Amino acid sequence: MSRTNIRPQRIGDFPKIYRDTLAHWCAFRNLGFGADDIFFGFGAVDYQTNMVHLQLQTQGKKFTVVMGQLPGATRSKVIKTWMRMATLAQESEMAERDACYRDHLIGSNVDYFAAFVLGIQAKGIVIPELPELTPHAGQA
């Protein structure tokens, strides 16, 4: 049986685009935004079709992060896969979600995280819980 026919049982089993999406979802949550303010999407973004993205909708403003393109994918399959991923993430140990976050630049690179925060602020969105953006030991 090919790997594509195996149903993922762990966060790390999902395709990278979904793990990247979860990492950014965690980043939004770490900044204090509510889960009800974060929306998963699949469709056209800036005239590009079949784009997987997250959108923060808060304070009357929107901020969209594009994860990538899935050419030829159907909306129903992409949404179904994300829902399985989200359900598994909710049921998983915090350590597994944290590993997904830390494995992505958003959770491991201060400069990338800072650019993400600045992008949100550039839209006029106030960050509820802005962490200190200084490097941790060993990240200099």
10-61 residue pLDDT tens: 898 999 999 999 999 999 999 999 999 999 999 999 999 999 999 999 999 9
Residue 56 has what DSSP assignment?
E
- CA 9 to mean position of chain CA atoms: 19
Are 93 and 99 contacting, i.e. CB atoms less than 8 angstroms apart? no
Q: Show the tokens assigned to 119.
A: 């992008």
Q: Which residue has the higher pLDDT, 139 or 84?
A: 84
**Residue-range domain boundaries for the chain:** 12-122
List, in sequence order, every beta strand (DSSP E) within the chain. 38-45, 48-58, 61-69
61-71 residue pLDDT tens: 999 999 999 99
Please report which confidence band the pLDDT of residue 136 belongs to, taking 50, 70 and 90 as the band edges: very low
- Count of C-beta atoms within a 10 Å radius of residue 42: 21
Ordered DSSP codes for 58-93 = ETTEEEEEEEEE-TT--HHHHHHHHHHHHHHHHHS-
Are 53 and 67 contacting, i.e. CB atoms less than 8 angstroms apart? yes
